[in-house]
Amino acid sequence: MERIDHLEHLDKHLVDELAQVARETIREELREQTRKQRRTAMLYAASGALALYAGAAVALAVGLGLATGLPDWAAALITAAILGVLAYVLRGAARPHRHPAHHEAAASAPHGPTAAGVTPTGPAGGLGMPYPPMPPTPPAAAPRPGDTDPESPHHRA
């Protein structure tokens, strides 16, 4: 009996040691992955900041180029309009593309869910898109007075 207790103690010790080694290995792997991701994120941030300054320099160059033949205020206004149009086009490019048939149906139908959470084109999905249309179901027949169970509970709507 004493030998079994000794083996259980060794088993517990071995399991604890293996768990500790596994935890240390996983912790080191996660630390290395985090280090790589942090470096990548910093490079993306620096790239974005430099792109912002480059865009500002291009906008300034366009404004100064227009200012040679126009008043300064007109050149600044035209530059701002160009940047606004570019921002609008980029925002449109970032949105998901819709099928023309679906877009026309959605444009003619009123927007927003109804009281039951169902849009006229179907129930709203998680991404704001309606689910595919369901085939129509035949209307249920109204219960006849003799079909109801007098012992069942009655609920009012």
* Cβ(66)–Cβ(75) below 8 Å: yes
Residue ranges in the chain assigned as alpha helix (H): 2-67, 72-94, 100-108
Token pair belonging to 124 = 């709203």
- What is the phi/psi pair of residue 119, to 5°? -80, 165
Question: Is pTM beyond 0.75 here?
Answer: no
The pLDDT of residue 108 is: 55
Percent of the chain with pLDDT strictly greater than 70: 59
- CA-CA-CA-CA torsion sign (14, 20, 23, 26): negative
What would the mean pLDDT of 144-152 be, rounded to a whole number? 63
Pick from 69-78, 104-113, 118-127 the range whose average pLDDT is largest. 69-78
| Residue 52, helix vs strand vs coil | helix
Query: Residue 70's CB: how many other CB atoms inside 10 A?
Result: 14
Token pair belonging to 8 = 């259980």
Residue with tokens 């991404």: 127
Q: What is the DSSP letter of 118?
A: E
Residue 35 has pLDDT above 80, yes or no: yes
The pLDDT of residue 93 is: 85
* Cβ(63)–Cβ(75) below 8 Å: yes
Residue 9 has pLDDT above 60, yes or no: yes
Token pair belonging to 121 = 């084109």
pLDDT in tens, 39-89: 889 999 999 899 999 999 999 999 999 999 999 999 999 999 999 998 888
Residue with tokens 């900041």: 49
149 vs 123, more confident: 149
Quickly state the pLDDT bin for 106 (edges 50, 70, 90): low
